Amino acid sequence: MIFPGITGIILAGGESRRMGSLKPLVVYNGKPLINWIFEALNPICSQVIIIANIGDFSELPALVFPDNYPGNGPAGGIEAGLSHCQTAHALFSSCDTPNLSTGFFNHLVKNHHDFEISITAHDGTNEPLIGVYSRLVHPAFKNAILSGDPHPPRIIRKFRWQEIPVYPDHDFYRPDLFLNLNTPFDLNY
């Protein structure tokens, strides 16, 4: 089911220092990391955007944009994604969590309701880079960057936000759902 008011946004602009090579294009279980997230988002989003400062993503049918304000970490990626989003909401994911599935993303969208920001929560932690953001929060991310405080958790707390919990009894659940790949060692998981 495609949600017409949702744009999928893949954050792929990190510096990949710990990985040692361009992380979105590192092959994991037979395909680049970014492909795993694209294939999970594409069935439910009206469009998919990639935020990346370097790399060739031309094999994917997605628009690619760089950070508007390079060097501001995840807040810069969120700001750039929201600045190019043409729908009411954006469904964000980092590119280095290949086990996230369409069923998982569907769960996030269906439980977003009327919040301005919904982020994922699991095992006592939350994931500000995996969630649903209203396009209306864009000015706050831009202002935070321009004022020198690009810290997503602080920005998120300015809005009506929620954590959407993920539990083992969800049909899409798997123990390694939130596997995060940051180093070459992680690829052997």
Nearest to 107 by CA among 97, 120, 94, 116: 120
* Domain boundaries defined on the chain: 9-63+72-175
The DSSP bridge partners found for residue 90 are 7, 133
Cβ 94 vs Cβ 149: under 8 Å: no
Helix H or strand E segment including 152: helix 152-156
Residue pLDDT, tens place only, 13-27: 765 454 445 778 888
* Dihedral angle sign, alpha carbons of residues 39, 18, 132, 127: positive
> Does residue 12 contact residue 36 with C-beta atoms inside 8 Å?
no
What integer pLDDT is reported at residue 21 of this predicted model? 52
CA 142-64-125 angle, to 5 degrees, is 60
**CA 64/CA 71 separation, integer angstroms:** 18
Q: Quickly tell me which residue has 């919040």 as its tokens.
A: 115
Please tell me the pTM assigned to this model.
0.93
pLDDT score, position 151:
96
Q: Which CATH number fits domain 9-63+72-175: 3.30.43.10, 3.60.21.10, 3.90.550.10, 1.10.3720.10?
A: 3.90.550.10
Residues of the chain with pLDDT under 50: 16, 18-20, 184
pLDDT of residue 20: 45
pLDDT tens-digit readout, 41-57: 999 999 999 999 999 99
**What pLDDT sits at residue 19?**
44
